[in-house]
Amino acid sequence: MDFSKLEEKISYKFKDRDLLKESLTHRSYLNENPSWHLPNNERLEFLGDAVLELATTEELYNRYPESQEGELTSYRAALVNYQMMATIAKEIGLENFVLLSRGEAKDMGRARDVILANAMEGLIGAIYLDSDYLGAKKFVKAFVLSHLAEVIAKGLYKDAKSLLQEKSQADLKITPNYKVISEKGPDHSKIFEVGVFLNDKMVAIGSGQSKQDAEVEAAKRALENL
């Protein structure tokens, strides 16, 4: 795999290419390739998550001196959640470089987005170790903060359920309601599927490990559909 193409895309050349490879190594890949000489990316993901939060927080703090903590927190949450991270990963072509098992490589749903988001955080952690905080912050500003205008313009910083209710009441004079469609898995690891309805019409389905998470996911998909 030619990782230089990814380096070109992100405008950063690694001094230690193994850090880049580690950041893209999903745990499933090691199950099928036990001779792979690097660990999975979970430690780098842990580090990168913290660097991403700090760099984003610092930038928002400096850009919006008049904004209160609650507003800045909402902006940050919209910029660093897994959906946004997965979107950015796709924009830079990261999915072409993540090392996965054959089974994981076939999954194109929510699980794939989570893997891509984690790889993004791993990449940020790798850049931090390969250079320094400023190097990682430069990456975050270029690829994450560049979505800030979109977040504000589209109201993505608002809670998805509240935003859907605002839009559906304003445009359709209808209040959304949510119903559990199914519950799967054992009690300690249950997955809920929830449908969001406008009148009797189901406009989207979301899944999550709690009813609340599933409702939020359903609201986000409904906003995209509408």
**In the predicted structure, residue 26 carries a pLDDT above the cut 80:** yes
What percentage of the chain has pLDDT greater than the value 70?
98
Q: 149 and 198, same structural domain?
A: no
- pLDDT value of residue 112: 86
Q: 166 and 104, same structural domain?
A: no
Phi, psi dihedrals of residue 196, rounded to the nearest 5°: -110, 130
CATH code at position 98: 1.10.1520.10
Q: Which two tokens stand for residue 132?
A: 């320094």
Q: Judging by beta carbons within 10 Å of its beta carbon (0-12, 13-18, 19+), is residue 2 exposed, middle or buried?
A: exposed
The residues assigned a catalytic role are 49, 121
Could you tell me the pLDDT band of residue 194, with boundaries at 50, 70 and 90?
A: very high
Asked if residue 180 lies in contact with residue 193, where contact means CB atoms within 8 angstroms, the answer is yes
Structural domain of 134? 4-153
Annotated binding residues for Mg(2+), written as ranges, equal: 45, 118, 121
Handedness of CA 51, 154, 9, 89 (dihedral sign): positive
- pLDDT value of residue 21: 97
- pLDDT value of residue 108: 66
- Convert the pLDDT of each residue in 198-207 to its tens digit: 999 999 999 8
Q: List, in order, residues 6 or more apart from 63 with CB less than 8 Å away.
A: none
- pLDDT value of residue 220: 87
Residue type for 78, please?
A
Q: 164 and 117, same structural domain?
A: no
Annotated binding residues, written as ranges, equal: 45, 118, 121
Q: Which two tokens stand for residue 40?
A: 């999975």
Q: 50 and 77, same structural domain?
A: yes
Q: 102 and 19, same structural domain?
A: yes
In angstroms, the CA 57 to CA 36 distance is 36
Provide mean pLDDT across the span 56-83.
93
- Convert the pLDDT of each residue in 89-132 to its tens digit: 999 999 999 999 887 777 666 778 889 999 999 999 999 999 99
More confident call, 21 vs 172: 21
Lowest mean pLDDT among 8-12, 130-134, 158-162: 158-162
- The continuous run of DSSP H or E covering 207 comes out as strand 201-208
- The continuous run of DSSP H or E covering 178 comes out as strand 177-184
Handedness of CA 48, 50, 51, 52 (dihedral sign): positive
